[in-house]
Amino acid sequence: MRRELSITTDKIDEAALVQHRELAGDMGAVISFVGVVRGLEEGRPIDAIDYEAFASMASHQFELIFDQVEKRWRVASVRLVHRVGRVAAGEPSLWVEVMAPHREEAFAACQFIIAEMKRLVPIWKKPCPA
């Protein structure tokens, strides 16, 4: 399974990520998910979220999650970008792409990655009030 992981302060450029997509011949499903910073946090307007990561552990935990994906589903590729630092409301903080032969495993793997990330990957957020 091809893996690409980036934990970065750079803005997520979805168009560039899609442009670099490498489709394999027997892969019929590409799922991509974009997580965007909401302008409201617990009902209060915010300007941004400041993301903090324990970067080396975050990378390691993502790799362990990808190991699980590889064991559970026939997936050709996982690419994931998580932005850290200050991310303005309306901007993407997370981009995940999963490529698989069929939609069932692509959706399932993508859901699994995000659910496990929210359980295990040491990244935290601090809302910046408007």
**3-class DSSP assignment, residue 3:** strand
33 φ, ψ to 5°?
A: -125, 135
Q: What angle do CA 15, 17, 19 make, to 5 degrees?
A: 70
> Is residue 129 within the footprint of other proteins (CB under 8 A)?
no
Residues 62-121 that bind other proteins (CB under 8 A): 82, 93-94, 114, 117-121
Min dist. Cβ of residue 56 to other proteins (A)? 5
Q: Are strands 2-8 and 44-53 parallel, antiparallel or unpaired?
A: unpaired
Choose the stretch contacting other proteins; rule: CB under 8 A; options: 17-25, 57-65, 68-76, 97-105: 57-65
* Binding stretches for other proteins (CB under 8 A): 35, 51-54, 56-61, 82, 93-94, 114, 117-126
